Amino acid sequence: MRRIGINAEGTAFDYMGEAIDVPGVTEVYTQFVLFDLPAVSTVLLREDLRSGSHDPGFLEPPEPTTPAFGVAHPLHDPIVWTSRDDDALFLITVTRGTGDAARAIWTMLVPGTAREAALPELPSTANAAALFTDALDGRIAACDYSGEEERCLRRAYDRSFELTP
């Protein structure tokens, strides 16, 4: 992309770019990423963008309401969020560590009709002391899952929140 222009209302954009044909490549994806940190929305389009106008259809990031911003939240207490994307699945991801050392250790899928979920207790065979040795963060993402592609073609998330074991 060489230029992206967003309209004054923030509801549309136009762009100018260049497409390069690569010998042997038969499937082309274009990824759009919209940043309004801490919120991020991404879209993968499997089409040739030289064919004209495109609507990436960004998902709106789900907004956590519980826990409140800046308040540590017990790991197994209900997490509540708002979202306008009724057809999306939601993913609650728990990461351990910070910065480059952060690693996802737990992901839970939640149906799109839900706006509240709690992480279940761990099985008795899990070593919680070893699993929860570092800072824990949670994040809710909306996902437009494609069974054919076996991945989220559209995904959006908002701020993370601190979890305590």
**pLDDT of amino acid 111:** 87
Report yes or no: 58 and 41 within 8 Å, Cβ to Cβ.
yes
Give 156's strand partners. Answer: 41, 142
Phi, psi of 121 (to 5 degrees): -65, 150
Assess whether pLDDT exceeds 90 at residue 116.
yes
Report yes or no: 83 and 63 within 8 Å, Cβ to Cβ.
yes
**pLDDT of amino acid 50:** 65
Measured between alpha carbons, how far is 156 from 64 in angstroms, rounded to an integer? 13
With cut-offs at 50, 70 and 90, classify the pLDDT of residue 42: very high
Q: Please tell me whether residue 50 adopts helix, strand or coil conformation.
A: helix
Assess whether pLDDT exceeds 90 at residue 75.
yes
Q: Across all residues in the chain, what is the average pLDDT? A: 87
The structure tokens 């959006």 sit at: 156
Give the β-pairing of 63-66 and 103-110: unpaired
User: For the residues of 68-119, what is the DSSP string, one character each?
Assistant: PTT--EETTS-EEEE-S-TT-EEEEEEEESSGGG-EEEEEEEE-TT-SEE-P
What does the CA dihedral 87, 120, 105, 140 come to, rounded to 10 degrees? 30
Q: Domains of the chain (ranges plus CATH)?
A: 63-164 (2.60.40)
User: In Å, how far from its chain's centre is CA 57?
Assistant: 14
Task: Give residue 29's identity as a one-letter amino acid code.
Answer: Y
With cut-offs at 50, 70 and 90, classify the pLDDT of residue 34: confident
Measured between alpha carbons, how far is 49 from 1 in angstroms, rounded to an integer? 11
